Amino acid sequence: MLQLLYQLKGVVPRDQRIHVHCFHGGVETVKLWIETFPNAHFGYTPLVSSASQDAKTALRQMEDHRILLETDAPYFKTKEARFSTPAFLGVAAASVAHIRGQDPETILQLTAANGRRLYRM
């Protein structure tokens, strides 16, 4: 994630809206992304449940308006499934909600609004 950040710095406008895909970085990585690109958003898959403690801390501390959900179908499957589909977005929401101490429905509503705003939908 840091290598990508440094490659983009100076090439991409500072105010560019960015979706950092399948993010599992820690607190310092989040800070660097936000300092460099204030409009950065961070996507989380169900695999965040097995992320490092630093990555979970970053998610807990992250501002609500920066969080996105992803399934990265068909790659990141649940234990019960042979492959992932967008239908597993609720599993991602439950994983994020558990780490943040929030309700999955709240996470779904929040991240849907974030996605609409980021992608101007």
Per domain, the residue ranges of the chain are: 16-118
Answer for the pair 47, 41: CB distance below 8 angstroms, yes or no: no
CATH topology of domain 16-118: TIM Barrel (3.20.20)
Question: Which pLDDT does position 72 carry in this prediction?
Answer: 72
Per residue in 50-93, pLDDT (tens digit) is 899 999 999 999 999 999 999 876 666 666 666 677 778 899 99
Q: Reply yes or no on whether the pLDDT at 113 is more than 90.
A: yes
Amino acid identity, residue 9?
A: K
- Number of helical (H) and strand (E) elements in the chain, helices listed first: 5, 3
- Provide the greatest CA pair distance for the chain: 44
- Please give the pLDDT value at position 38: 97
- Average pLDDT over every residue of 36-51: 94
